[in-house]
């Protein structure tokens, strides 16, 4: 009765082996590394950078232990080296080679730490647990996006659009304005109102329009549709996140976290950054987009060849490296750009970027484009007072509120360009509502403390269990250890963020998980006390205890899950580990421990007694 | 080794009334302190600024306090944190606004300026101060946390009550919830009485305790059900007494082991985990007591009967395995 079929042992063996494999990376310490990321929004690090870096290091005869290309949201190349000295040397060399002009760096070369776990582990996605800020040090910001002003901004734009629409059809209005969260168009009589309504309805699909009498006059009131509100908020949040990404990349931080939290909040976590003031400065900075005409007149060209810059022009460098003279006069700015999306041309199926301007921008761009067909217009992104050319397309015809940029682009490039154009400004202002800074020494201290308390607690439990339940105690300890192994493996697989409360949850979960084994062992003793034969006592003990174990774990899980659902910050870190730990504990305390017990006792036909410590029988 | 050699069942139910009165008194005391003293909420709930700094030499906490008062802070909270060289400052948002020499303006919000703080205040406490941690929590975050916390508590209670009602019977479910809420209230009572800092992690601990000590009630309820099936001619009181007595050994050993882990956190976990471990300790100790001495008597007051638990349908599962 106490035998497991072979497949059960296979399950136990395989899951423990997988557990061991995925726990393994956590034992490799972090080693120094140099990270190369883009410093400019217009430059992207790609796989070819890896070879370039390898070559530079080879020329400088600096030995590395691996160069990795990380293709994430902010792609980077990392070079692993053996010690701190090499790290500094490598950084200096790469800095010099990659940024020929130190005043205008193209790449951020930063010091970093990466795991020294072997490549084959990384290949099977066995990565060490991700450490939270409280364990590694860094800065955490929680930002509130001011959605109301995002809506207001949009409504202002819509009011402007309404003005242009009516003027185009020569409908006279006696005033168009944004009133609170709606757009109001005042009109002389009902007939005009009825004529204006379909035009506005077609031109402004985001608004719910209604004709309302007002004294002797009439007005059309447009309230924004709920679906449009949601769209605007989502876009605002997405745009702010993109902008933040571009800015954070400049810090050269490894693994920054920029995430949406709830409907209107953004979390920014910058591990390893010590200088909060600088971090805040960079995050709070506003980049701006400017559209200006390219000066390609023969005079300008000859001036450029002569190395001078004509009056009223500025010199920029195009993405391909060639110089570009651009007029100082601004056609429209990022404030006028309401949207930029990548798409495909209806006729040619070529990738394009669709731009949408507000009424004011549309008016200006129409006039300028009409007079400059065949000329180029440059779209420039300014950050820290320095401009970058995003793109400089040729104007093919008269442009309106909506126009597109096309020409020799891949779909990916179109997406990047659209993103860059949008990142010119924040869609809505943000304010920091929560901020945490943790020094690196405090982080290391927290790890050591969490680790120590778990180790000592575990040892004390193990000693007691072995003394009290002898062989069964030992089995329980093995089960508990396998629980720890599986839990850490699961956390590593999920790449969950481990925080100090998370470590506390590991310790607490272990302390609670032993309950299952105590229940089982007590039950077996009780059966023995009642005179049951040893083999049957084992079976009955496990069988009977199982119902109780399941019930109690489910109630604990209910508590854990609701913490997960409603908790935030440290509570969440605690809850994730707690819930996972309860799940693994059922597996290990029942299944694994039974497997071991069966292995020890299952084949013994004439079993006289069990090594479960003393079983006292009342006289 | 075996600790418990109980020859006869301990007559817990005979003294049920006494136990209930004792727990009622502790419960009322906890409520009393919660209402009169209130909880000492951490800045996570109230909004505010928390600064941890480390010095080269032991800190003169009094001098720091005086410096803060001079800067305009009305009730400065300064304490040693971990070692004599580490110090923890806690300032409310109002305090920061009232002290121009340590704040900076940033948009609409007035915020602490770490450089100014180091120069104008921290330097008074000793040599070479360095800020190791700085937390700022805006006022809107705190309000949300409080509602979320209350909501989490509610969901835990309802979830567990429903589950127990489904698995056992409503009387057990009510008794278990009352018993375990009693634990949570007592934990909060302790925090109110000693004015320990009530932070998010403490809240997590309190809710974890709720889930944990329900285990206890489940184990006893399970045994009561089993006894109702097995011991057919015994009174309800005897059945409950036997259930508690026969699970006694497991109760004490399990709690002892969990508590071992928690004490290890209390000793080695450092100041960050201190109150978390403390809340767990109180919860675990009262958890033993409440399941045995609160939950069981309440089930009896509610008039639990054999028929409630031993349903004919479930009979086959009681088939002898021995």
* Close Cβ partners of B67 (under 8 Å, ≥ 6 residues apart): B120, B121, B124, B125
**Contact in structure between B273 and A573 (CB atoms under 8 Å):** no
Residues B101 and B165 reside in one and the same domain: no
Residue of A458, A570, A619 with shortest CB distance to B201: A570
Length of chain B: 322
Establish if A522 touches chain B: CB-CB under 8 angstroms. yes
Record: contact A439-B133, CB cut-off 8 A: yes
Class of domain A6-23+440-601: mainly alpha
Cross-chain residue pair B133–A442, CB shorter than 8 Å: yes
Q: Mean pLDDT in chain B?
A: 83
Alpha-carbon distance A522 to nearest alpha carbon in chain B (angstroms): 6
Instruction: Judge if B126 and B157 occupy the same domain.
Output: no
Number of domains chain B contains: 2
CA distances from B56 to A442, A600, B85, B128 (A): 15, 58, 7, 6
Q: Which residue of B has its CA nearest to A543?
A: B321
Q: B52: closest CA among B91, B80, B88?
A: B88
Percentage of residues in chain A having pLDDT higher than 70: 93
Q: What is the pLDDT of residues A30-57, one digit of tens each?
A: 788 888 877 766 677 888 888 888 888 8
CA distances from A228 to A156, A232, A348, B120 (A): 15, 6, 30, 50
DSSP secondary structure of A197-261: HHHHHHH-TTEEEEEEEETTEEEEEEEE-HHHHHHHHHHHHHHHHHHHHHHHHTTT-SS-EEEEE
- Does the domain at A148-228 match CATH 3.30.1240.20? Answer given as yes
Please state the rounded mean pLDDT for residues B166-187. Answer: 88
Please check whether residue A550 touches B, CB under 8 A.
Answer: no
Q: How many CB atoms neighbour CB B18 within 10 A?
A: 11
pLDDT bracket for residue A469 (50, 70, 90): very high
Is the CB of residue B276 less than 8 Å away from at least one CB of chain A? Answer: yes
Between B162 and B14, residue with greater pLDDT:
B162
**How far is the first Cα of chain A from the last one, in angstroms, to the nearest whole number?**
30
Taking only the tens place, the pLDDT of each residue in A304-363 is 888 888 887 888 888 777 888 888 888 887 778 877 888 888 788 888 888 888 878 888
Domain's final residue, options B104, B137, B170: B137
Query: What is residue A373's three-state secondary structure?
Result: coil
Contacts of B132 in chain A (CB under 8 A): 438-439, 441-442
Bridge partners of B130? B54
pLDDT at A222 over 50: yes
Rounded Cα gap, residues A12 and A1, in angstroms? 19
Range of the domain at B113: 48-137
From B110, B137, B164, give the residue that closes a domain. B137
pTM equals 0.74
Q: Residue B110 — very low, low, confident or very high, per pLDDT cuts 50/70/90?
A: low
Instruction: Flag if B148 and A431 touch (Cβ within 8 Å).
Output: no
Is B271's Cβ below 8 Å from some Cβ in A? no
Put simply, whether B97 touches A (Cβ < 8 Å) is: no
Give the distance from residue B313's alpha carbon to the nearest chain A alpha carbon, in angstroms.
17
- Return the CATH number at B104: 3.30.70.3400
Asked if residue B104 and residue B34 are part of one domain, the reply reads no
- Report the chain A residue with the minimal C-alpha distance to residue B44: A434
**How near does any CA of chain A get to the CA of B35, in Å?**
25
Do B84 and B115 belong together in one domain?
Answer: yes
pLDDT at residue A153, as a whole number: 75
What is the spatial distance between Cα B279 and Cα B188, in angstroms, rounded to a whole number?
A: 8
User: From the DSSP assignment, how many helices (H) and strands (E) are in chain B?
Assistant: 12, 8
* A562-590 pLDDT per residue, tens: 888 887 777 888 889 999 999 999 999 88
**Which of the listed CATH numbers 3.40.50.2020, 3.30.1490.100, 3.30.1360.200, 3.30.930.10 matches domain A287-425?**
3.30.1360.200
Query: Can you list the positions of beta strands (E) in A239-385?
Result: 257-261, 265-271, 288-294, 313-317, 323-333, 337-344, 351-357, 377-383
Instruction: Examine the domain organization and report whether B191 and B286 are in the same domain.
Output: yes
Q: What is the ipTM for the molecules in this complex?
A: 0.84
Asked which of B118, B137, B156 is the last residue of a domain, the reply is B137
**Residue A530 burial class via C-beta count within 10 angstroms: exposed 0-12, middle 13-18, buried 19 and up:** exposed
Correct CATH for A31-110 of 1.20.120.1730, 3.30.70.260, 1.10.8.100, 3.40.50.1980? 3.30.70.260
Please report, for chain A, the start and end positions of each structural domain, with discontinuous segments joined by +.
6-23+440-601, 31-110, 148-228, 287-425
B320 touches chain A (CB under 8 A): no
Cα gap A353→A343, rounded to integer Å: 6
Chain A residues whose CB is inside 8 A of the B214 CB are: 552, 555-556, 559
Is residue A249 predicted with pLDDT exceeding 80? no
In chain B, residues with a C-beta closer than 8 Å to the C-beta of A518 are 250, 253-254, 257
**Please, how many CA atoms are within 13 Å of residue A592, restricted to the half-sphere of its CB?**
27
Nearest to B173 by CA among B308, B72, B17, B25: B308
Residues of B in contact with A433 (CB under 8 A): 137-138, 140-141
d(CA A380, CA A523): 76
- Does A544 contact B at CB distance below 8 Å? yes
Read off the pLDDT of each residue in A115-128 and give the average, rounded to a whole number.
Answer: 81
Select from B250, B246, B249 the least CA-distant residue to B230.
B246
Tell whether A453 lies on the interface with B, counting CB pairs under 8 A: yes
B190 pLDDT tier (thresholds 50, 70, 90): very high
Task: Give me the residue from B200, B259, B321 closest to A539, CB to CB.
Answer: B321
B204 touches chain A (CB under 8 A): yes
Residue A148, min C-alpha distance to chain B (Å): 16
Can you tell me the distance from the alpha carbon of A18 to that of B290, in angstroms, rounded to the nearest whole number? 41
Number of CB pairs, chain A paired with chain B, less than 8 A apart: 243
A134 shares contact with chain B (CB less than 8 Å)? yes
């Amino acid at each position: 009765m106490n035998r497991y079929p072979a497949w059960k042992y296979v399950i136990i063996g395989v899951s423990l082996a997988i557990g061991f494999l995925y726990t393994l990376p956590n034992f490799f310490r972090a080693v120094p590394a140099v990270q190369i990321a883009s410093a400019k929004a217009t430059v992207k690090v790609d796989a070819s950078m890896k070879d370039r870096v390898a070559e530079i290091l080879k020329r400088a005869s600096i030995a590395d232990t691996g160069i990795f290309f990380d293709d994430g949201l902010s792609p980077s190349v990392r070079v692993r080296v053996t010690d701190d000295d090499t790290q500094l040397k490598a950084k200096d060399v790469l800095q010099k080679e990659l940024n020929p002009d130190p005043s205008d760096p193209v790449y951020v070369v930063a010091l970093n730490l990466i795991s020294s776990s072997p490549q084959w582990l990384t290949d099977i996605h066995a990565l060490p647990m991700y450490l939270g800020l409280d364990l590694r040090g860094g800065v955490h910001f929680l930002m509130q996006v001011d959605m109301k002003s995002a809506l207001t901004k949009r409504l202002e734009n819509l009011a402007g659009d309404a003005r242009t629409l009516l003027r185009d059809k020569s409908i006279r209005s006696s005033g168009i304005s944004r009133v609170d969260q709606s757009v109001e168009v005042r009109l002389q009589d009902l007939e005009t109102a009825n004529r204006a309504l379909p035009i506005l309805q077609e031109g402004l699909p985001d608004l719910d329009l209604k004709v309302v009498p007002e004294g002797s006059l009439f007005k059309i009131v447009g309230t924004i549709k709920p679906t449009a509100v949601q769209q605007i908020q989502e876009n605002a949040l997405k745009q702010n996140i993109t902008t933040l990404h571009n800015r954070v990349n400049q810090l050269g931080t490894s693994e920054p976290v920029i995430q949406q939290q709830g409907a209107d909040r953004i979390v920014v976590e910058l591990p390893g950054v010590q200088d909060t003031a600088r971090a805040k400065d960079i995050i709070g900075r506003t980049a701006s987009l400017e559209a200006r005409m390219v000066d390609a007149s023969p005079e300008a060209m000859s001036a450029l060849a002569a190395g001078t810059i004509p009056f009223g022009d500025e010199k920029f460098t195009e993405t391909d490296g060639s110089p570009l003279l651009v007029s100082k006069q601004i056609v429209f700015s990022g404030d006028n750009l309401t949207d930029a999306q990548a798409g495909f041309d209806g006729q040619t199926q070529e990738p394009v970027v669709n731009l949408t301007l507000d009424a004011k921008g549309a008016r200006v761009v129409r006039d300028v484009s009409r007079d400059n067909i065949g000329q180029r217009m440059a779209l420039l992104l300014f950050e820290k007072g320095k401009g970058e050319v995003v793109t400089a397309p040729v104007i093919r015809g008269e442009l309106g509120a909506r126009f597109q940029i096309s020409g020799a682009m891949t779909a990916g490039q179109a997406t990047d360009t659209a993103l860059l154009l949008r990142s010119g400004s924040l869609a809505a202002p943000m304010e920091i509502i929560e901020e945490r800074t943790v020094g690196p020494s405090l982080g290391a201290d927290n790890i050591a403390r969490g680790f120590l308390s778990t180790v000592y607690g575990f040892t004390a439990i193990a000693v007691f269990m072995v003394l009290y339940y002898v062989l069964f105690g030992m089995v329980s300890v093995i089960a508990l250890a396998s629980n720890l192994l599986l839990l850490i493996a699961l956390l590593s697989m999920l790449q969950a963020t481990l925080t100090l409360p998370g470590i506390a949850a590991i310790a607490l979960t272990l302390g609670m998980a032993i309950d299952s084994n105590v229940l089982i062992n007590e039950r077996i003793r009780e059966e023995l006390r009642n005179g049951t034969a040893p083999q049957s006592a084992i079976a009955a003990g496990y069988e009977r205890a199982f119902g109780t174990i399941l019930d109690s774990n489910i109630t604990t899980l209910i508590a854990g899950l609701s913490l997960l659902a409603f908790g935030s910050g440290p509570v969440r870190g605690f809850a994730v580990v707690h819930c996972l730990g309860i799940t693994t504990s059922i597996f290990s305390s029942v299944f694994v421990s039974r497997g071991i017990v069966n292995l020890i006792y299952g084949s013994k036909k004439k079993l006289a007694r069990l090594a479960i410590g003393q079983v006292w029988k009342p006289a | 080794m075996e600790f418990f050699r109980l020859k006869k069942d301990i007559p817990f139910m005979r003294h049920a009334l006494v136990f209930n009165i004792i727990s009622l008194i502790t419960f009322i005391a906890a409520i009393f302190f919660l209402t009169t003293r209130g909880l000492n909420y951490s800045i996570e709930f109230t909004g505010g600024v928390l600064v941890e700094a480390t010095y080269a030499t032991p800190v003169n906490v009094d001098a720091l306090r005086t410096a803060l008062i001079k800067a305009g802070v009305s009730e400065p909270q300064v304490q040693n944190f971990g070692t004599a060289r580490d110090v923890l400052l806690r300032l409310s948002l109002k305090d920061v606004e009232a002290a121009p020499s340590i704040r900076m303006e940033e948009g609409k919000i007035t915020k602490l300026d770490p450089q100014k703080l180091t120069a104008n205040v921290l330097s008074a406490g000793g040599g070479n101060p360095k800020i190791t941690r700085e937390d700022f929590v805006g006022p809107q975050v705190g309000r949300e946390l409080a509602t979320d916390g209350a909501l989490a508590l509610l969901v835990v209670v309802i979830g567990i009550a429903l589950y127990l009602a489904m698995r056992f019977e409503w009387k057990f479910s009510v008794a278990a919830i009352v018993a375990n809420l009693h634990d949570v209230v007592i934990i909060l009572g302790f925090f109110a009485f000693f004015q320990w800092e009530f932070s998010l992690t403490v809240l997590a601990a309190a809710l974890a305790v709720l889930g944990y000590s329900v285990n206890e009630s489940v184990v006893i309820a399970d045994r009561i059900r089993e006894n109702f099936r097995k011991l057919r001619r015994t009174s309800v009181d005897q059945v409950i007494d036997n259930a508690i007595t026969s699970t006694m050994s497991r109760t004490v050993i399990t709690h002892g082991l969990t508590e071992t882990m928690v004490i290890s956190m209390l000793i080695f976990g450092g100041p960050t985990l201190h109150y978390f471990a403390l809340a767990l300790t109180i919860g675990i100790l009262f958890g033993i007591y409440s399941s045995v001495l609160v939950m069981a008597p309440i089930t009896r007051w509610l008039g639990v009967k054999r028929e409630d638990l031993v349903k004919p349908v479930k009979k086959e599962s009681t088939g002898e395995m021995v």
